[in-house]
Amino acid sequence: MISQYQESLLLPARTFQSGSMDTTYEDVLEHVDSGILLFDEEGVLTFVNKQMYGMLELNRHSLLGCTMAHLLSHIQLGRFKKKQVLRSYREMVQKGKQSYEFVDEYGRYWRASLCCGEQMKGSYLFTVKEISDYKLIEQTAYQNDSLAMLGKLSASIAHEIRNPLTAIRGFIQLLHPHLHQLGKEEYGRIILAEIDRANDIIHEFLTSSKPSVPQVSMIPVSALLKEVVLLTESEALMKGCQINLHPLHGDMIISGDVKQMKQVVLNMIRNALEAITERDDDQIGKIEVGARREGAEVRIFISDNGKGMDILTLDRLFNPFFTTKENGTGLGLSVSDRIIKDHGGCISVSSRVNEGTRFVISLPLIQ
């Protein structure tokens, strides 16, 4: 049941007569760092400070005298803001919660609070304050705690996973003469290389809080991308996707750890495959891989036509342990980002929901 006051909030607007608040208190509330809305006992908005009408992107005179219903139907109030105002109203007035946190269309965090009861003499005071800085501190503390816990578990987990990999590696080496007779020794070489890379990935993931020093060598970009595409082609075909490797013009060579660089590109291609398979339509999945020279740098790009990401996901994409996958660890992109930064480069990403995603890895070239 909605109370009489809650019903009054939804009444049509009426004309507001100024002078209902003491000027001194009004001046104080005008300069606080929180947005303020004050509804009287009849559900009419009697005061709004400049912080609040700035947040709503409306002018003061169009707000005073409004009820909640009139505010929600305001022609100049954006659709996203209407949705947040309505959710805040439901959570705090109808459900009785004292506060409600939300994220705006720009990715900023806010906390709305409600003060009512006998001390307010029937009035309802809504305050809204930005808490983005607090959320950043909170997330950083959580990540540090998670990384510390991960460090304690890494030794035992690595031991348990590497034991079967070692056995597989030994049997593949025993089968090498038979593979040679069949003319398939290249398969054996690839399997051994992938087992070694899996060991390196396990070590990298489980010790992500302790950055390792890259084993530097000269890496031809064309050879790197060709090998990665070769490793992922069969997986892509099984998922009904196409991987197109764009022709590379000129010799582009970077300096770095070839295993780590392969790990980064493979991770992004496999993320693209997952994004494509999560689309609801029957569109053919396509992944474009290539590189181009930009001055003294090379830009390696991996783009897909998968489900894409919204702005909130993009904002947290490289945070450790953040994942949108049901069985994901949230470490893949954070480790990739750190590897590229260790090599003096950076990763940029652009994405649109239901249109696809494009990652660009920028790295310095060896002249």
pLDDT score at 77: 79
How many other β-carbons are positioned within 10 Å of the β-carbon of residue 243? Answer: 22
Distance (Å, whole) CA 67 – CA 259: 62
User: Is the four-CA dihedral 21, 24, 27, 30 of positive or negative sign?
Assistant: negative
Look-up of token digits 């009408």: 53
Mean of pLDDT over the chain: 79
| CATH number of this structure's domain 4-130, picked from the four choices 3.30.450.20, 2.40.30.10, 3.40.50.300, 1.10.287.1260 | 3.30.450.20
CB 59 within 8 A of CB 83: no
Is the pLDDT assigned to residue 20 strictly greater than 50?
Answer: no
pLDDT (mean) for 336-343: 88
Residue 142 vs residues 48, 57, 139: alpha-carbon distances, Å: 36, 34, 5
Q: How confident is the model at residue 277 (pLDDT cuts 50, 70, 90)?
A: confident
The domain limits of the chain are 4-130, 133-210, 214-367
Tokens of 185: 């020794």
Q: How confident is the model at residue 224 (pLDDT cuts 50, 70, 90)?
A: very high
Q: How confident is the model at residue 205 (pLDDT cuts 50, 70, 90)?
A: low
CB 195 within 8 A of CB 172: yes
What is the pTM for the complete model shown?
A: 0.49
Q: How confident is the model at residue 143 (pLDDT cuts 50, 70, 90)?
A: low
Query: DSSP H helical segments within 175-319, as ranges?
Result: 176-181, 185-206, 221-238, 258-277, 311-315
pLDDT (mean) for 85-98: 82
The architecture CATH gives domain 214-367:
2-Layer Sandwich (3.30)
CB 357 within 8 A of CB 304: yes
pLDDT (mean) for 297-314: 89
User: Is the four-CA dihedral 100, 101, 103, 109 of positive or negative sign?
Assistant: positive
CB 334 within 8 A of CB 282: no
pLDDT (mean) for 105-114: 82
What are the strands of the beta sheet with 99-103, ordered from one edge? 45-48, 35-39, 124-130, 109-115, 99-103
